[in-house]
Amino acid sequence: MNFMEKEKSIGVFDSGIGGLTVVKRIASALPNESIIYFGDTARVPYGSKSNETVIEYALEDASFLIHKNVKAIVVACNTVSSVAIPELRKRFNVPVIGMIEPGAAYTAKMTTSKRIGVIGTRATVNNKAYSKNLRKYIEDVFVIEKACPLFVPLVEEGWINKEVTRQVAREYLRELVEQKIDTLILGCTHYPVLYDVIQEIVGKETVLVDSGIAAAEAVRADLSRLGMETNSRARGRIEYFVTDIPATFKEAAQIFLGKTIGEVVRIDLEFLKELKLRIIETNNTK
């Protein structure tokens, strides 16, 4: 691997802002790596859209990161990870790391009773991506999946420690608690923000899995296996790009990262579509 390749940034994309919980994990696991974050804030949420639409958007989002010359792509969105990983790996020549495979592998190590809960968007739950992946590790696993769509707006509103959020969580999680799960996968990148509320409701003996931690470890393992880790000793830079108003993203970013962020650049959706056509065509004619 030549020097220039190693010093490229890691690309991270999400349907909007939730992927910042993954950025936080990557930045803490790999502090010297630079990151380019892309959030499709104009078209969020993806969790209620069809698989075809999600794949189409994912190819456009990833094309932007390829245009920015990244060395790897992290799909920091469970919804996209549950449907678009094979297509992304087919179209792009860089490592593509999703949330589901590392999250399931990590969970398989954590469970003792083999009774696992998964919460996520409707799309993630309907695709049963976590169940399928968990079965690769534990044949006789019991998995209960539950869509919790109201969590996303509650988090984006910053309603973390409110009674209404606890009520919603109690309602969503009742069934899972009744099923005596010992491990619960937070299968949406927004949910780690609600970690404490969820833990309070499911009880402290239930292990909560933040797939972002597992994904950050998978990024580290892939970069190391391919000899692509940066040589830099300085703290990596993080650049932010979104498809809607940067000011709104900046404000909400505080909820996810616990700190303010610098410049956020807006990218036009038409430009994104053009990029996808150009990059995917070039890759296909190689």
Return d(Cα 140, Cα 18) in angstroms, integer. Answer: 32
What are the tokens at 188? 């949406």
**Least CB distance to ligand DGL at residue 254 (A):** 17
148 noted as active-site residue = no
**Least CB distance to ligand DGL at residue 284 (A):** 28
Chain centroid to CA 238: how far? 16
Q: Closer CB to ligand DGL, residue 152 or residue 272?
A: 152
Q: Closer CB to ligand DGL, residue 194 or residue 228?
A: 194
Choice among 188, 214, 228, 261 that is catalytic: 188
Q: Closer CB to ligand DGL, residue 108 or residue 119?
A: 119
Residue 191: HSE in the Cβ half-sphere, 13 Å Cα cutoff: 27
Which residues in this chain contact ligand DGL in the complex, by CB under 6 A?
14-16, 18, 44-47, 77-79, 120-121, 124, 152, 188-190
188 noted as active-site residue = yes
CA-only gyration radius of the chain, Å: 18
**Least CB distance to ligand DGL at residue 42 (A):** 12
User: Which residues are CB-neighbours of 240 under 8 A, at least 6 positions away?
Assistant: 37, 39, 246, 249, 253, 261, 262, 263, 264, 265
**Least CB distance to ligand DGL at residue 102 (A):** 14
What are the tokens at 30? 């790999």
Closest CA to 191 of 115, 118, 96, 106: 118
Instruction: Give the residue nearest to ligand DGL (CB).
Output: 47
Choice among 27, 30, 35, 77 that is catalytic: 77
- 65 near 11, Cβ under 8 Å? yes
- Beta strands (DSSP E) in the chain are 10-14, 35-39, 72-75, 96-97, 115-120, 142-147, 183-187, 207-210, 238-242, 264-266
**Least CB distance to ligand DGL at residue 117 (A):** 16
Distances (CA, A) of 192 to 21, 165, 189, 219, 243: 7, 14, 7, 19, 24
Q: Closer CB to ligand DGL, residue 8 or residue 190?
A: 190
Q: Closer CB to ligand DGL, residue 18 or residue 95?
A: 18
Active site residues: 77, 188
